[in-house]
């Protein structure tokens, strides 16, 4: 099979822009990147509301919407219903070469079933650690069961793509098979220190030399936001002029606004608006312990921010402690607070870390990431064809 052969790829995801989260962002880059490389894509996703028409229709990029329901307790997100029969009919008609299934919800399970019914190679993506989320939503007793279900789901596919070597090693030890890397990139033209805005900082009520501490992400229990709040309280006690800006939406927004009216909850941001918010900060806090990757880390780095995060996922992959950011052990929240406090009072070091973070981010090119995925998809198709060829040879030999 020629490595440059054009593919017809079905992409199945429970979340996609305009929804705002890391999986949606990654899927947007995957679909756009495959299309730019000359492949055809057919996106299958849940309808995001009654006024959500399928609009991505070109010669190389089409879309099917499926019925959906809201995720309980998680405002703004929906899950697709298990429409295996519909997908079987659809894929029998459009005949994809391979399916990429990004999420493990009802729609993902239906897609994997449809692919297996039709003999279509299927690759799954490990994008969300649902077993880690369980304890934050009263389902801690089900963590092991959820973990087993995830393993079984992914092991039914031809391959599972994961974002970091660290996670690949951990999942392999847990019994996951056929694991391969699907890294992440960052748009360094969009996320850029030059987007720093004095007007935006003034709107936040900041003096020119006042430090701005930034958080970008879902405002939800699994993001460990209590540690971010505790960290900023320590910073504010030492730097009274500091401001805390939290960008994002989620089920915890109203409670946080009520309990902390002194902080700036600016809501979700996208595009240039989001990039300006990043670049106008000084220190980026990322306290989450449940990330599969954490796209906001390279976005902050590309924006020239010093990042404080726990030593795993994207932070482990890209941050070199005290060179282009700082990581701390995942079991040491006190070190997280102390590190942020040390940085906010050392302006020169803060700026130096931000400059080096930008240099690191410059090498995280989405085009190279997509080429890696492209190769993985082609390898899966090749292995499936070779396996089927051997099976046909054995059958012929026994007749």
Q: What is the mean pLDDT of each run of 10 residues along the chain (399 residues)?
A: 75 92 93 96 88 65 89 69 94 97 92 97 83 44 70 96 93 95 95 97 93 96 94 96 96 94 96 98 96 95 98 95 97 97 94 97 94 95 84 62
**Does 250 reside within a domain?**
yes
Whole-number CA gyration radius for the chain: 22
Residues 141 and 218 in one domain: no
What does the alpha-carbon distance between residue 279 and residue 353 come to, in Å, rounded to a whole number?
Answer: 14
Q: Do 51 and 78 belong together in one domain?
A: yes
Give pLDDT, residue 275: 98
**Both structure tokens of 296:** 């906001």
Number of domains in the chain: 2
| 310 in a structural domain | yes
Residues 177 and 202 in one domain: no
Do 105 and 215 sit in the same domain of this protein? no
* Same domain membership, residue 214 and residue 357: yes
CB 16 within 8 A of CB 103: no
Q: Is 2 inside any structural domain?
A: no
Q: How far apart are CA 371 and CA 243, in angstroms?
A: 41
Q: Residues 123, 137: one domain?
A: yes
Range 23-59 burial, b when 16+ CB lie within 10 A, else e: bbbbbbbbbebbbeeebbbbbbbbbbeeeeeeeeeee
Nearest to 366, CA basis, from 160, 229, 185: 185
Asked if 355 and 370 sit in the same domain, the reply is no
Gap between the Cα atoms of 159 and 292, Å rounded: 17
Q: What is the CATH number of the domain that holds 114?
A: 3.40.50.2000
325 contacts 307 by C-beta, under 8 angstroms = yes
> Could you tell me if 356 and 371 lie in one domain?
no
Is residue 3 situated within a structural domain?
no
Q: What is the pTM of this model?
A: 0.88
Q: Is residue 1 part of a domain?
A: no
What Å distances lie between residue 379 and 56, 176, 374, CA to CA? 28, 19, 9
Angle, CA of 331, 337 and 339, to the nearest 5°: 95
Position 91 in a domain:
yes
Task: Based on the fold, state whether residues 49 and 119 are members of the same structural domain.
Answer: yes
Rounded Cα distance between 90 and 64, Å, is 9
Does 333 reside within a domain? yes
Q: Are residues 88 and 13 in the same domain?
A: yes
Q: Which domain holds residue 229?
A: 193-361
Are residues 370 and 355 located together in one domain of the fold? no
* Whether 154 and 301 share a structural domain: no
Burial class (CB in 10 A: 0-12, 13-18, 19+), 239: middle
Q: Is residue 222 part of a domain?
A: yes
Tell me the C-alpha distance between 282 and 168, whole Å. Answer: 32
The token pair at 305 is: 């921010």
What is the rounded distance in angstroms from the CA atom of residue 275 to the CA atom of residue 177? 38
Are residues 311 and 327 in contact, defined by beta-carbon separation less than 8 angstroms? yes
Q: What is the DSSP string of 208-222?
A: TT--EEEEES--SGG
């Amino acid at each position: 099979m020629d490595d440059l052969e054009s593919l017809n790829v079905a992409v199945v995801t429970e979340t996609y822009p305009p929804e705002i989260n890391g999986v949606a962002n990654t899927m947007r880059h995957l679909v756009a990147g495959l299309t730019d490389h000359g492949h055809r894509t057919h996106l299958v996703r849940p309808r995001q509301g009654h006024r959500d028409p399928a609009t991505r229709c070109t010669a190389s990029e089409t879309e099917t919407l499926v019925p959906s329901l809201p995720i309980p307790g998680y405002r703004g997100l929906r899950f697709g219903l298990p429409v295996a029969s519909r997908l079987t009919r659809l894929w029998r008609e459009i005949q994809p070469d391979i399916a990429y299934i990004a999420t493990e919800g009802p729609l993902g399970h239906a897609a994997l079933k449809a692919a297996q019914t039709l003999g279509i190679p299927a690759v799954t993506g490990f994008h969300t650690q649902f077993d880690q989320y369980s304890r934050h939503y009263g389902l801690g007793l089900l963590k092991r069961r959820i973990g087993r279900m995830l393993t079984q789901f992914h092991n039914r596919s031809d391959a599972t793509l994961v974002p970091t070597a660290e996670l690949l090693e951990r999942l392999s030890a847990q019994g996951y098979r056929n694991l391969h890397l699907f890294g992440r990139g960052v748009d360094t033209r969009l996320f850029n220190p030059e987007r720093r805005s004095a007007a935006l900082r003034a709107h936040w009520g900041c003096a020119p030399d006042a430090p701005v501490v930034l958080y970008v992400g879902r405002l939800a229990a699994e993001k460990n936001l209590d540690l971010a709040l505790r960290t900023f309280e320590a910073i504010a006690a030492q730097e009274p002029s500091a401001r805390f800006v939290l960008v994002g939406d989620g089920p915890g927004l109203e409670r946080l606004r009520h309990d902390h009216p002194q902080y700036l909850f600016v809501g979700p941001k996208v595009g240039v608006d989001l990039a300006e918010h990043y670049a106008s900060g000084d220190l980026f806090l990322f306290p989450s312990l449940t990330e599969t990757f954490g796209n906001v880390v390279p976005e902050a780095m590309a924006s020239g921010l010093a990042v404080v995060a726990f030593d795993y996922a994207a932070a482990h992959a890209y941050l070199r402690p005290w060179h282009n950011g700082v990581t701390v052990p995942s079991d040491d929240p006190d070190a997280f607070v102390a590190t942020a406090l040390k940085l906010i009072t050392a302006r020169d070091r803060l700026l130096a870390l931000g400059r080096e973070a930008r240099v690191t981010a410059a090498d995280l090119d989405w085009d190279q990431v997509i080429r890696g995925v492209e190769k993985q998809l082609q390898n899966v198709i090749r292995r499936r064809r070779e396996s089927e060829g051997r099976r046909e040879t054995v059958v012929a030999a026994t007749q």
